[in-house]
Amino acid sequence: MNNLLSSEEVKRYLEIEDPDLTGLIDLGKLHAYKIGGTYLRFRKDEVFNLKQEFQAGRKTPLSIPWFVRFRDFWRFNNFYILSLLFIALLFFIAIRF
């Protein structure tokens, strides 16, 4: 009687991808167990309870606050935003003179 699930089985059952599974582990919503030092396994009852939380309409544990999303957006796009502002400033100066 096997009471543990592999990471592939958990991803398939919860319908999530690798980064989401890693996020659940990091947030402590799902506990991973190493078997033989390398293989991750998850308890069936924890996975089933987590699936019920998702289905119950509760707030998902992976929801990200708006300021974290904005910070990530800024970190990824700051060069483009600043470049656009600089070009707009140069354009405005060229038109004024």
Q: Where are the domains of the chain?
A: 1-63, 65-97
Specify the CATH number for 1-63; select among 3.40.50, 1.10.1660, 2.30.29, 1.10.287: 1.10.1660
What angle, 0 to 180 degrees and rounded to 10, lies between the N-to-C axes of helices 7-14 and 18-27? 100
pLDDT band at 82 (very low <50, low <70, confident <90, very high): very high
Burial 9-20 (b: 16+ CB within 10 A, else e): ebeeebebeeee
Each residue's pLDDT tens digit, 27-62: 888 888 888 777 789 999 999 988 888 787 655 555
CA distance 8 to 68: 29
